[in-house]
Structure 1
Amino acid sequence: MNQKANENVERVAQFIVKPQTPIRPYICSTLNDFQEERNFLATNIFPQLNELCNSRGTYFKPVDLRWSVLKAQKSLPANLYRQGCCLLSQQLKLCLDYVNSCFPFFICMLGQTYGDFFPDHSPFMFSKAKDLSNLSKAEQNLYVAAKNGYPWVLETPNCSLTEFEIIQAAFRNQSQFQYFYFRTRTTLLKILSGEEEESLSSGALVNEEEKLKIGRLKAKIISKGLPIRFYKDLQELGELVFKDWSFVIEKLNPITLMIKNIDYRHSLECFYHEEFIEKCKQAFVSSKESNRIFEILEQFVLKDEGLDLKNAAADSNLVSVLRINSLPAFKSILLLSGERGCGKSTLIANFVNYFKNKYPSIWIIPHFVGSTCESSDIVSVIHYFITELQHKNHSNR
């Protein structure tokens, strides 16, 4: 085989094996007046972008929190009401967490409204409060966010949730994959000056301070040179979003080589399992108990592989553990049981990562039931393992 043919084979192998970049933009806007846009994009545009991603071996999955549907109603049972209040008090912190997890992707829609905020004349005195419940909802959000990694929110406590999200995504970080869509039928000069746009379909009334704030926010976005699009209706918004994010998909996941029989479905399934492991790694906190379980699992895997177990048990208390939890000599299936939500999947996902790093020569095919829609279908599971074995067999030749 000549050198050019070898290069082509190598490119094919990289295209099949190398994970493509998933596109997960955070959706930012004031909520009550942008539900129609969010619904339209989720129903008509995002599925098209996801299909485009699927053809590249990845996926498009925006994060749309829609906090407006979350309300802590007193008619709920006491425990659910308390949980709802607790979640609402962490709204700002959780939104900023998701902005970070979705970085560098960000979609922002702005219109005439600014969102809830502290009036400029309102004093912010949470530092003297002894009980969080004595603070207002806005004060609770600022307090929780400031104490959990976002102290900068106290520098501008009069911002709305929407502006906080924009600051975190576009002003405290920089990315070329952020797009801002302004709903307007006015000129750019009116937007910059903060003058009133045409009234919203919802008929929302905006006071003068809010109009001034949304005008200043738009001017700040424009002054920074961030990519801005203006739209008049849903159809125009859809066309702009599809064009912008098709460009992002092409830039990050270009089709540089088209060959027959590439299994895109399998490639996509692999990415979901890999992402599941990554998410579990972020939530995992190592402990003495988890290390002991890792040792047991390591001993079991190596035993099933027929390898020397002495090295695996060296410098550990595994022997004493196995005296209590002895492993059967002829079994190749290990059952890890526990209550739902206790962290079994997270533990196994982190063990897979630990074992791969420690024994790179041993090949593992991780598969997590429930991580994808098809992961519990027996035909899909068989297809997944057969395809992995085929790829492994070809790569060894």
Structure 2
Amino acid sequence: MELQEDNRGAYPTLIQIAPLQPYLCSVPDDLPQEKEYLRSHIFPQLDTLCQTRGTCFRALDLQWSDGEMGAEEEGEGHDHHSVHNHRPVSSQRLKVSLDLISCSPFFLCLLGHRYGQWRSEGSPPLPASGARYEGPSDVERNLHLASKSGYPWVLQGRNQTCSLTELEIAQAVRVKDPRGALFFYFRDYSFQEGEGEAPDERQRALLLKVWTSQTEYERRRMRELKTWIVDRCLPVRFFRNVEELGDLVKRDWSCIIEQLYRLDAQSEHSGQFSFEGNSGEPEKSILLLCGPRGCGKTSLVAWWLQVFCKKNLGLLVIPHFPGLSLSTTDVRTMLRQCISLLRQAHYGLQAEWSERVEERVEPRPICQVVQDFLVASALGPCVLVLDGLDQLTGTLGLSAQQVKELQWLPDALPTWCKLIVTATSTDLPYKSLTCRKDVQVLNCPSLSDAVTRQNVLLRHLALPCKEVPGPMLQSIMGKKLGLLPMFLAILGNDLREEEEEEELMEEYLEVDSIPELWAKVIKRWINDYSWASETRPKRRKRVPPPTAPKTELRGWVWDTLCLIHLSYSGLRAEEVPSLLEEFGYHGAWRVLPLNWALFRSAAGPWVQERPGGQLTFTHQSLSQAVELLLWSE
């Protein structure tokens, strides 16, 4: 396919933009008013600004406090928060924080006068990460678990006596990405009474009480930490009240949003493109990328989208990924979205009115919707990308069989409209497409090279410093499913516990399909992180024996997966806690922010936010596995 430039105007490239998710770092129970002001006033304004650019702003905020740690350790009612391998949630706070910082190139840190929890310099050295350790201190358990979970540097030298907050800052500096941003905001406690602003007496008394309760060691370590940050020329801002903090955060992160999501980026290239074949023959309109499930079709399409859209900013590209939510599987909804975007690209935003009117009237016959799509696709050059053709289901006027037979697809597409689709060779849509004369078939190459497959597995390891034993690596590579990148990615992300990894791999390598593997992973998530609302959780064994009863599909993790799968237009992360409360997870059974963060850390790349902030499964195979488990109940 050769692209030739034409000068008829520019159309926007419609590519999904990742949400802006800075990690919010602070000492627990310090600066509570400042953090609440950011959550209630500033972050919503930044989110509104992001929405005008097709994305969202979501601060990664654990909202943890020292009081909750103590309540968890002492209170009987919070025993359900210790379900993960018998560990209290408080001992996993540092590990989860470092995971989130590693995943996000954006970091927002608030520092006041408190240093946080730490071990004194006179404490004996902690044992190596490979040894078993159950120390009496919550900080020691956090350090040991973080070291065991892929961050061994936290036990090296002076790091053992750093506060948990300082270790979070160190991790942010260690993994600093040039494409990201780090901002530090220091509370200025000096009272400038001569400037007309009298200090609040209650605030003065509170600060005096805190400062007198601090040790000289704590004050010194806090001074050293702030000096260390300044000496590295990291962006530091000083504020005296919540209003100043809000102005500084809003200004800094508005600039980041302007740089990342520029409104004028779409008009940098005014080129238009037409398609011509190399040999003068008529070029085929549809490219079919086929291969078995999990072979990497989605990754290949996503990579192509990024490269193609950067090189051809003037060409309209509309990607659609069926199976990520219920609304994406409806062919009528997909066609209407394409029609709306095509009309907007040609006529401007005023074309939106037709969509709004259509939602309020009786649905039009599917044949008319197809005709409207055909007319809209002829307005100008465009590329439509449909990843997962077999995921489309029946709609009003067409049965599922008719949809898979592609009775909704026009017999011939306009000359300037190109369609790229992916499907598996065993599905009905593949057979229907290969009967057409305007389809070019491209088989997705398989990973036959053992070194390449090992690199795929190692790249998806959840633990940064993890080493896979040689015998285990050979067993994985010798498996027939080991030829599929999806299989390797799932295994790599789920290798987290050294004590149980050998037995776990034996169980995982017994599966014969990707959905069967997902079923075992989902049940592991339920066992490790979940509890039911009406009964106390049961202590689980590492790996149940073959004769053990099947894991029950119940608990808040399973309920959350079902909510994400069944939500028609998507579900935001902040909506999950309120829905879980409706299901009975309140009071002693409430899901704390750190419980949610533990699950999100385990789910890793498979449960993410879309540009609009809605939670979604990033691969169709996970959605299919949840669907199969729902039907099995």
Q: Please give the range of the TM-score, normalised by the shorter of the 2 chains.
A: 0.5 to 0.7
Is this contact kept in 2: 1:126–1:139, CA < 8 A? Answer: no
Q: Deviations over 1:171-208 (max 9, x none)?
A: 44244511100001449xxxxxxxxxx77558322110
The structural deviation recorded for 1:368 is: 6.4
Report the counterpart of residue 151 of structure 1 in structure 2.
Answer: 152
Q: 2:188 aligns with which of 184, 187, 191?
A: 184
Please give the alpha-carbon distance, in whole angstroms, between the structure 2 residues aligned to 1:216 and 1:230.
17
The structural deviation recorded for 1:76 is: 1.7
Please give the alpha-carbon distance, in whole angstroms, between the structure 2 residues aligned to 1:216 and 1:52.
36
The structural deviation recorded for 1:260 is: 2.7
The structure richer in strand per residue is: 2
Please give the alpha-carbon distance, in whole angstroms, between the structure 2 residues aligned to 1:374 and 1:228.
30
Look up the equivalent residue of 2:160 and give its one-letter code: P
Q: 1:238 aligns with which of 214, 239, 246?
A: 246
- Please show how residues 50-89 of structure 1 align to structure 2 within 5 Å: 50-68=47-65, 69-70=68-69, 71-72=71-72, 73-76=74-77, 78-80=79-81, 85-89=87-91
- Please show how residues 155-170 of structure 1 align to structure 2 within 5 Å: 155=156, 156-170=159-173
Is this contact kept in 2: 1:180–1:227, CA < 8 A? Answer: yes
Matched, 1:106 2:112: no
Please give the alpha-carbon distance, in whole angstroms, between the structure 2 residues aligned to 1:374 and 1:66.
13
Report the counterpart of residue 219 of structure 2 in structure 1.
Answer: 211
Report the counterpart of residue 390 of structure 1 in structure 2.
Answer: none
Is this contact kept in 1: 2:183–2:236, CA < 8 A? Answer: yes
- Please show how residues 221-260 of structure 1 align to structure 2 within 5 Å: 221-256=229-264, 260=349
Please give the alpha-carbon distance, in whole angstroms, between the structure 1 residues aligned to 2:23 and 2:574.
25
Q: 1:3 aligns with which of 1, 6, 21?
A: 6
Is this contact kept in 1: 2:186–2:237, CA < 8 A? Answer: yes
Q: For the structure 1 residues 150 and 74, does the alpha-carbon distance in structure 2 shift closer, same or farther, using more than 3 Å as the test? A: same
What is the SS of the residue equivalent to 1:118? Answer: coil
Please give the alpha-carbon distance, in whole angstroms, between the structure 1 residues aligned to 2:154 and 2:75.
30
Look up the equivalent residue of 2:24 and give its one-letter code: I
Look up the equivalent residue of 1:93 and give its one-letter code: K
The structural deviation recorded for 1:50 is: 0.3
The structural deviation recorded for 1:4 is: 3.0
Q: 2:571 aligns with which of 371, 384, 392?
A: 371
Please give the alpha-carbon distance, in whole angstroms, between the structure 1 residues aligned to 2:128 and 2:87.
20
The structural deviation recorded for 1:133 is: 3.3
Look up the equivalent residue of 1:203 and give its one-letter code: K
What is the SS of the residue equivalent to 1:235? Answer: helix
Look up the equivalent residue of 1:371 and give its one-letter code: L
Q: For the structure 1 residues 368 and 4, does the alpha-carbon distance in structure 2 shift closer, same or farther, using more than 3 Å as the test? A: same
Structure 1 runs not aligned, ≥5 long: 188-197, 267-296, 323-337, 350-365, 376-383, 385-397
Q: For the structure 1 residues 167 and 254, does the alpha-carbon distance in structure 2 shift closer, same or farther, using more than 3 Å as the test? A: same
Aligned-residue RMSD, C-alpha: 4.3
Identity within the alignment, %: 32
Q: How many residues are treated as equivalent by the alignment?
A: 290
Look up the equivalent residue of 2:36 and give its one-letter code: N
Matched, 1:302 2:428: yes
The structural deviation recorded for 1:66 is: 1.8
Please give the alpha-carbon distance, in whole angstroms, between the structure 2 residues aligned to 1:230 and 1:237.
8
Q: Deviations over 1:128-179 (max 9, x none)?
A: 9975434422221111111111011112111111101100002442445111
Please give the alpha-carbon distance, in whole angstroms, between the structure 2 residues aligned to 1:77 and 1:60.
31
Matched, 1:339 2:539: no
Q: For the structure 1 residues 144 and 219, does the alpha-carbon distance in structure 2 shift closer, same or farther, using more than 3 Å as the test? A: same
Please give the alpha-carbon distance, in whole angstroms, between the structure 1 residues aligned to 2:99 and 2:117.
20
What is the SS of the residue equivalent to 2:76? Answer: coil
Please give the alpha-carbon distance, in whole angstroms, between the structure 1 residues aligned to 2:221 and 2:92.
24
Please give the alpha-carbon distance, in whole angstroms, between the structure 1 residues aligned to 2:79 and 2:124.
32
Look up the equivalent residue of 1:44 and give its one-letter code: H
Please give the alpha-carbon distance, in whole angstroms, between the structure 2 residues aligned to 1:221 and 1:141.
23
Please give the alpha-carbon distance, in whole angstroms, between the structure 2 residues aligned to 1:153 and 1:298.
46
The structural deviation recorded for 1:85 is: 4.6
Q: Deviations over 1:43-84 (max 9, x none)?
A: 000000000000000000001102214541332265545658
Report the counterpart of residue 39 of structure 1 in structure 2.
Answer: 36
Q: Deviations over 1:299-328 (max 9, x none)?
A: 77435863579x99xx999xxx99xxxxxx
Q: For the structure 1 residues 138 and 55, does the alpha-carbon distance in structure 2 shift closer, same or farther, using more than 3 Å as the test? A: same
TM-score w.r.t. length of structure 1: 0.62
Matched, 1:141 2:116: no
What is the SS of the residue equivalent to 1:76? Answer: helix
Please give the alpha-carbon distance, in whole angstroms, between the structure 1 residues aligned to 2:248 and 2:102.
24
Look up the equivalent residue of 1:67 and give its one-letter code: W
Structure 2 runs not aligned, ≥5 long: 192-203, 268-347, 356-422, 436-441, 447-479, 482-511, 514-551, 576-611, 613-633
Report the counterpart of residue 220 of structure 1 in structure 2.
Answer: 228
The structural deviation recorded for 1:101 is: 1.7
Please give the alpha-carbon distance, in whole angstroms, between the structure 2 residues aligned to 1:50 and 1:77.
33
What is the SS of the residue equivalent to 1:97? Answer: helix
Look up the equivalent residue of 1:162 and give its one-letter code: T
The structural deviation recorded for 1:91 is: 1.3
What is the SS of the residue equivalent to 1:165? Answer: helix
Is this contact kept in 2: 1:21–1:253, CA < 8 A? Answer: no
Report the counterpart of residue 291 of structure 1 in structure 2.
Answer: none
Q: For the structure 1 residues 80 and 235, does the alpha-carbon distance in structure 2 shift closer, same or farther, using more than 3 Å as the test? A: closer
What is the SS of the residue equivalent to 2:7? Answer: helix
Q: For the structure 1 residues 374 and 107, does the alpha-carbon distance in structure 2 shift closer, same or farther, using more than 3 Å as the test? A: closer
